[in-house]
Structure 1
Amino acid sequence: MPGVLTPDRTRQDAPAAPSPTGTSLRARTSAMAKEHLRPTTLFLLVGGVVFLLDTAMYNLLVFWSPSQGWGAGLMHGSPLTAKLLTIALASCLTYLGNRLLTFADRPRPDTTRSIMMFILVNLIAAGLQLSCLAFSRYVLGLDSVLADNISGTVIGQVVSTSFRYVTYGRLVFPRR
């Protein structure tokens, strides 16, 4: 249909069909939310479960003694080593959870490359988390249960999890 005649007998062109690139902001936002909502939710679920395990293991190693109960644990004098051990175990569980749940819809990557990238990303993330704990312990001089859990577990976890979320989807489990 080339055009429409108006009451004053002039020709008016019919409105053009919307182009796919000219979609509304609302439609683009909705599409992006649909694309990212499921993986983000699963990533946070896996991370939440592993976070609880990491926190429990760290507190047992640093603040619980089998003979004396709560106070100074077996690794109270070595909090960074204790945190490194718990991060290593948590990382293994995180890889499995994210491979099987969060990024299950993506093609299986080359296992060697995927694991090497996962190790690299987690070494960097562990460094971020350990630096939060080290700053609290050795710069601020705070070594209580509350201080360790706020700096190493909460703040460190937020920083390292944000880094992991961005890098896992791009480097460890790419779309291809």
Structure 2
Amino acid sequence: MSTLTSPPPPSAPAPAREAGLIAGLYDRFSHLVHELGKFGVVGGLCFGVDFGLNAILLAQGVEDLAAKAISTTIAATLAFAGNRYWTWRDRESSGLGREYALYFFFNLVGLGIALICVAISKYGLGGIWPEVFDTKLASLIAGSVVGNVFGTIFRFWAYRRFVFLAPNAAPVTEEA
């Protein structure tokens, strides 16, 4: 007859260990969590501007790619102010001109991502299924939803890495 042995009791109850793990992770990444939150608020407001302007321009008969380019440019200008003076206000300024130029360069890349999504929908999938993908609604969704998701991931990384530098960080150069 064998006896069953139970494992030794853990040093702390499971909920306490999990709470400690979550608290430790939060302590380690709290600054990033706060940055993501602020970036999300600024981005959400500017998404509304971008989406609304894009919809208005499309309704006015502006060509699909031009409408997206105009709405994104205006929204990006507002987002720069929000991110510089709120999201990353604690970071040292490396010069407003430098930050502005890099910011808009990375926004152009993000715009390119959105325009690729619009072009795939309108000119690629629209050729196969025009009644679904060659519509104003499809262009709006492709650019303002799908394109913005991929563009936002890229922009958050780029702004953090190259535009709004961490305190005491030197600007990134080719040699680095």
**TM bracket (short chain):** 0.7 to 0.9
Root mean square deviation of aligned Cα = 1.6
What is the distance in 1 between the residues matched to 2:118 and 2:44? 19
Question: How much has 1:111 moved relative to structure 2?
Answer: 1.5
1:164 aligns with 2:155: yes
Whichever residue aligns with residue 70 of structure 2, its letter is: L
Tell me the number of residue pairs that the alignment of Structure 1 and Structure 2 aligns. 142
For the pair shown, which has the larger CA radius of gyration, 1 or 2? 1
| 8 Å Cα contact 2:114/2:148 also seen in 1 | yes
The answer to whether 1:31 aligns with 2:27 is: yes
Residue segments in structure 2 that go unaligned for 5+ positions in a row: 1-19, 127-132, 170-176
Q: TM-score w.r.t. structure 1 length?
A: 0.75
CA apart distance, 1:27: 6.0
Q: How does 1:65-84 map to 2 (within 5 A)?
A: 73-75=60-62, 78-84=63-69
Q: Is the 8 A contact 2:93 2:165 kept in 1?
A: no
Which residue is equivalent to 1:108?
A: 93
1:49 aligns with 2:45: yes
TM-score normalised by length of structure 2: 0.75
Any runs of at least 4 consecutive aligned residues in structure 1 with deviations exceeding 4 A, and if so which?
24-28
What one-letter code is carried by the residue in structure 1 that aligns with 2:103? F
CA distance in 2, matches of 1:46, 1:26: 27
Unmatched 5+ stretches in structure 1: 1-23, 64-72
* Alignment map for 1:1-176 (pairs within 5 Å): 28-63=24-59, 73-75=60-62, 78-141=63-126, 142-175=133-166, 176=169
Residue in structure 2 matched with residue 19 of structure 1 by the alignment: none
